[in-house]
Amino acid sequence: MTNPRPVRAWVALVLALLTAQCAASPSRRPLDLDPVPTGPGTLADIRRSLEGEWTLVSFEVHPPGRPAVPITGTGRLTYDAYANLTMDVRADESAVQALRDAGIVAAERGISIKGRTVLDVEHRTLTFVTNEPVAAGPTSGPLALSRPRHWQLDGDVLTLTTHGDDGKPISVGRWRKTS
């Protein structure tokens, strides 16, 4: 049987040499970072403008080849500091039936959409990141999560418009900021 002390010493020496070779060192190339833009019209400014609670003013769906379907009822939209959006619209029974007749799925007297979003400042669109498990909402039709929502802010009124493949509006929701 051999003495374990020389073996331990040898292993310790090898580990010390390997550790010295792998030690962290400062980067030789500085990162060239521009300052994050702030002020009116920047992503940070727009996110702050959208953040908060909104109540439904009006909502309508424009099914292809059919007249617009106004959704009467109540609704709440919440946009948080982490770009999560929750939209709940509780429609009157006649509006739900009109939506179903137009081929739009409306569960439990309304429409619920929830998920993380990405803002495109240049195109003024808000798009859901649908590969996350928390995203919930329609997968097809005019309210599909894959369709970008074009946003317009006029004072305390937010208008979200979804366009069809032909470029025409297929849903328009107007929301008033409450907090």
pLDDT at 5: 72
End-to-end Cα, the chain, rounded Å: 78
In the numeric block, the tokens 């073996």 are attached to: 7
Domain ranges of the chain: 43-177
pLDDT at 77: 95
Q: Hey, what are 62's tokens?
A: 């424009």
Distance CA 111, CA 91 (A): 8
Whether the CB-CB separation of 49 and 64 falls below 8 Å is answered with no
Whether the CB-CB separation of 91 and 71 falls below 8 Å is answered with yes
Whole-structure pTM value: 0.72
Q: Tens place of pLDDT for every residue, the chain, 179 residues?
A: 566 677 777 777 776 766 666 556 666 777 777 777 777 888 888 999 999 999 999 988 887 777 888 888 899 999 999 999 998 888 888 777 777 776 676 666 677 888 899 999 999 999 888 554 545 556 566 677 788 999 999 999 999 999 988 888 988 999 999 98
* φ/ψ of residue 147, rounded to 5: -85, 130
Q: CA separation (Å) from 18 to 22, 24, 43, 123?
A: 6, 12, 46, 52
Domain 43-177 has CATH 2.40.128.50: yes
pLDDT at 141: 66
